[in-house]
Structure 1
Amino acid sequence: MLNDSLNRELLARYTPKPGRHALLPELTPRQTVALLCRVLYREGYNDHIAGHITLRQGDGSYLANPWELTWGEVTASDIVRLDPKGKVIEGEWNITPAINLHIDLHAARHDVNVVIHNHPQWGSVWSAVGRVPPIYDQTSALVDTDPVLYDEYRGTVEDLDLGRACVEALGTQKWAMLANHGVLVVANGVRQAHLRAITLEWRSRLAWRVESLGGGSPLPINVARATGERTDSNGFPFLWEAMAREEIRRDPSVLE
């Protein structure tokens, strides 16, 4: 409760003044998912057509990015809607065979409204060596826990048993590194999902660079945890909005 109170206080202190433009235009859920795909693509979540995001809807259905398109080209009209079992019920594209991982996660975790799985450039390096990257700066500390390390790779997650094994390995945690595979991030909403996903990739990239120079001094555990406790509950103030605006300026068609 204390951390939520601090976050609300911080947001209230820096709320835009009356008369200023809105931080973002009003977005539909499909536009929001498309923007999340685009923003994360630029952060390193760009393994060709691999990777999937689901957003739980109030009626029990899910929105998801299509299988055939890269995250860097998807638009709002491309986003498909799935029934509770993961079958496409709206949209012109197919869904990945690995959607069972998301469906199982949503079913097991009622606190989870967003699931992200991909093989990002830098997170995959640490996944491949079976290590959790240290925290070397404050941007790497915006989430207050270490990822779970699931250290067994037995195949791709469209296999039902292997997908459920990943769900079980994640447990009640926020994110996981899947050995020789990639990363898994869950969240209560898009702002939190965005923060967790970009924090993991930033942390992975910076740690690799620091250790390539012979290593550095990680942040003290208590300092890193306190930093993440202030930001993770609802995302870093205005960060998601800023990155979404940048993507809209770069390519307004993302909203079409």
Structure 2
Amino acid sequence: MKKYDGVNKAMLDRFATRPGRKPLLPELSEKAQVALMCRMLIKEGWDEHIAGHITYRLANGNILTNPWEVAWSELTASDIVTLDPKGKVIDSDWNVTPAIGLHLQLHAARPDVHVVIHNHPHWSGIWACMQKVPPVYDQASAYCGVDLPLYNEYEGTFEDESTSMSAVEALGDAKWALLANHGSLVVGKDLRQAHLRAITLEWRSKRAYQVETGGGGTPLNDAEVEKVAIADKNGFPFIWEAMARKELRLDPSIID
């Protein structure tokens, strides 16, 4: 059985289903959860002015996304846009990015993918521009395993359908990717899983850059990474809720 910091998978499963005496979060609409995700990730380095988009496919096939005109740092639940599976806006006067095609194609190609995140993050963006994959130097960098594809056929922005489809095909069944000279892409089965992957990618990239500019170190080998990677299907217990509470303390209006 895999171990994580002295705690085995069965223990993680038990903790994930026992949140303690108080609710970890108030009841949140799906739009509120997407708005919170944007606020949470901007604090993790996923912050490039008004760039970037998150899509969240609902059980009925419709898709929630952030509007083009509004920065992630100012989003509230009422700003989140609902799209049909083809990308038509259902319930908003806001616009959506022309690059939404990448997300729609990913959702169509990957039934397992209900969340897609793309932006030009600070630290993983550096590695994408260097066209290198950051090594894993510490435990937090290893949360989501080793494999990190680098899509290195930059042909422009993702407004072009053939360009975005080539990125979809290059991603294959991977959970994330670096987009050379562009940014980063993360997918997940739900918001919790996608959040862990997004923050792990940025932490891994930041730590690797710090270590290598500081003189270098010895990366963990693949076997060591797999030993400390989080095997629990729900991700790291309680971290999504903790980061969401942090944002709600700063701005309770996010969920309005």
User: Which residue identity lines up with residue 91 of structure 1 in the other structure?
Assistant: S
Structure 1: how far apart are the matches of 2:77 and 2:208?
A: 34
Does 2:36 align with 1:35? Answer: yes
Unaligned runs of 5+ in 2: none
Structure 1: how far apart are the matches of 2:166 and 2:63?
A: 22
| 1:22–1:166 Cα change, 3 Å | same
Report deviation, 1:16: 3.1
Match of 1:16 in 2: 19
How many positions carry a matched residue from both structures? Answer: 251
Partners of 2:124 and 2:205 within 8 A in 1 = yes
Match of 2:243 in 1: 243
Report deviation, 1:226: 2.2
User: Which residue identity lines up with residue 110 of structure 2 in the other structure?
Assistant: R
Structure 2: how far apart are the matches of 1:229 and 1:192?
A: 11
Deviations 1:32-88 (A, max 9, x none): 000000000010111011100000011111000110011111000000000111111
User: Which residue identity lines up with residue 112 of structure 2 in the other structure?
Assistant: D
Partners of 2:68 and 2:97 within 8 A in 1 = yes
Which range moves more in the overlay, 6-15 or 207-216?
A: 6-15
| 1:97–1:214 Cα change, 3 Å | same
Does 2:208 align with 1:207? Answer: yes
Report deviation, 1:7: 4.2
Match of 2:75 in 1: 74
Report deviation, 1:146: 2.0
Deviations 1:208-238 (A, max 9, x none): 010001211111211111222425x321010
Structure 1: how far apart are the matches of 2:12 and 2:108?
A: 33
Taking the TM superposition and a 5 Å limit, the aligned residue runs for 1:122-201 are 122-201=123-202
Match of 1:115 in 2: 116
Structure 1: how far apart are the matches of 2:192 and 2:10?
A: 14
| 1:32–1:7 Cα change, 3 Å | farther
Structure 2: how far apart are the matches of 1:87 and 1:167?
A: 21
Structure 2: how far apart are the matches of 1:9 and 1:56?
A: 30
Partners of 2:146 and 2:226 within 8 A in 1 = yes
Deviations 1:196-215 (A, max 9, x none): 00000011111101000121
TM-score (structure 2 length as normaliser): 0.94
Partners of 1:106 and 1:113 within 8 A in 2 = yes
User: Which residue identity lines up with residue 182 of structure 1 in the other structure?
Assistant: G
Report deviation, 1:153: 0.9
In the TM superposition, structure 1's runs of 4+ consecutive aligned residues that sit over 4 Å from their partners are none
Report deviation, 1:11: 3.3
What's the % identity of the aligned pairs? 57
Secondary structure at the aligned position of 1:211 is classed as helix
Report deviation, 1:92: 2.6
| 1:13–1:117 Cα change, 3 Å | closer
Unaligned runs of 5+ in 1: none
Report deviation, 1:239: 0.5
Partners of 1:144 and 1:226 within 8 A in 2 = no
Taking the TM superposition and a 5 Å limit, the aligned residue runs for 1:92-103 are 92-103=93-104
| 1:82–1:253 Cα change, 3 Å | same
Partners of 1:132 and 1:146 within 8 A in 2 = no
Match of 1:56 in 2: 57
